[in-house]
Structure 1
Amino acid sequence: MSHLLRRLRLSLRRNLTTSSRCFSYYYVRGAESWVPVSGETISVPYLKVPMELLKEIGIIGASHGWVATLKNGVVCLQDDLDLPDTGPKHIPLPPFVTLPHCQTQIVTNVSMSSSSPDDDEDCIVAVKFLGPQLSLCRPAQRDCKWSNIRITDPSFFSSHVMYSKRDETFSMPASRGHYIGSWDLGRHMKEPKIQMLRLPDEAPIPEMTEKKWQRLESCCTKQHYLVESLHTDETFMVKWYTESHPIANNLWDHFLVLKIDKEGNAVYTKDIGHLCILLSMSEAICIPSKSNRKVKNSVYMLREQEFAIVMIDTNQKFCQRPFACSLPYYISKRLLI
């Protein structure tokens, strides 16, 4: 039980799903790891990654198995699950029209309403820029163009956007997680739908001491993610707190998960059942823990210097650091329904 994850490398192909392919062209070494909390052994095979995604083309996000790149103001969607002999699909989108005072080269993430941007006219792509710009378009339309939305509430300037299938809108949590804003290409394009979140007095943060709460409030980084479980029809908000320790050269992470119902009632939970939440530079994902059923009720976090599994009930973290990752994204289309 003293060992942590060993030699862990990028992939969820074996540990969370039975997917048979992920990337193509450039090989990334696999490894074998042991998760002490469950006794599970995770075998990670060699992966293939397109060389261009590691070099000149800048990735700005991933959603539903599609990688989004930005070059010279043009977003291109690339399907990297095709085998090398068939080649991936490339769907260039129209050039961006920049709103005043927007930093158009800095993107928080990309979200899509479905996995068929090339042949589904209902598919909408959303690009959330750092600052007041949210841009939406329908790639399959003949006269495809961006609809640029200027967000007036600064609480959403650094938020991560996700597509809610339940509400059929693109939604973001406010910076402190007290409410949610939703936009679409209809009535909520100029004026977002705002949903205030209510935390009942009788359901405080579970077993949270005042000292620990003060530590969370003083953390240097606080991120909020909305994620839906299509398998259980549940919506969660994940609060990710990070505290850096420059002298020790490591990071302390803590996760709080709230379950949100349709009326906006939010309760903290330490048990999301047989589900795993995947956090990276991609759109947040929630999937059932099929292959390793003991590795459940957990957050799989992936960033450039670290991969870790964090158990939601205990916040026990099993990680691999340093972890040099050129592609800190969960991409596989097989992870989604």
Structure 2
Amino acid sequence: MPSTDDEFIALDGVEKVFDVRRKTGFLRRERRQVRAVDSLTFTVPRGEMVGYIGPNGAGKSTTIKMLTGILTPSAGRLRVAGIDPSRERARLAHRMGVVFGQRTTLWWDLPLIDSYRLMRRMYRIPDERYAANLARCVDLLELGDLLDVPVRQLSLGQRMRGDIAAALLHDPEVLYLDEPTIGLDIVSKVKVRGFLRELNAQLGTTVLLTTHDLTDIEQLCRRVMVIDHGRLMYDGELDGLHRAGGAAAERTLVVDFERELPPLDLGPELELDIGEGVRVVKVDGVRQWLAFPAGRSAAPLVARIAERYPLVDLSVREPDIESVIARMYARDTPVAP
């Protein structure tokens, strides 16, 4: 069945159940079923960059493996670009790229450039296209000094950059990224994120990103899906995920003063402006952190501080995504965006 741009990736009631056997006695083994993915339904339009997050064991990697054809769903229907991945894996391979943070697609004992040359032959990439793609990746991912280095001698961060380049040499229409910034320093993370943004904007590559570094999600994705125990708990915009914490969610006002001050005493009259729940949560030299309800404006609080204290700088931080997700897991029920 052909795909539409609105349903480039489409899952409908997809499940994955594993049979697990464990030893219960000298000659006894118990067999039980583990449901890794449970009635998963969602679509991803062509060209969208989506964050796919959840705790360890939530079903993220299992989903990616079904999308790439490595695993076959136990039930439900799954299509990528109109292709059933498990039945036409070889055909789909030419249209997708995959990066697994803890595993490499590079040849361990060969120089990095030799891995790329082998991939050019495997994917039958035309010489001109291969040269252009390699040059772009080498430049943006800063791989020039690493091309003649055997893969086994690369650091984890260097290998990750090498793997990202390898996944893009054949111009895939969809890219699955599993922990793409693992092992990277701050500067390298910024470069990789910029590279992925450019890839998505210029080439329209569809990207499904799983990561424990939620800064990756915040800086790359407008849409985020949260999965837990194989079920989709949230699917919507990143801003909506912040609001999903409800009344328990808090924003943080970070204030820098001209001199060190004791924890601020803003007075009971502040409650008339912003309501209850404003409190100082941390003091470090001239900087103080104040928490206040996420659903309320920071303006009255900022005005009161500026009126009473020698203010130098301030910023407002949105609720921590990890905290919101933790509350979502505690509820164990899907949250509407």
TM-score range, shorter chain: under 0.3
TM-score by length of 2: 0.24
Higher strand share: 1
User: Where is the helix percentage greater, Structure 1 or Structure 2?
Assistant: 2
Structure whose alpha-carbon radius of gyration is higher: 2
Choose between structure 1 and 2 for higher RCO, CA contacts under 8 A separated by at least 6 residues: 2
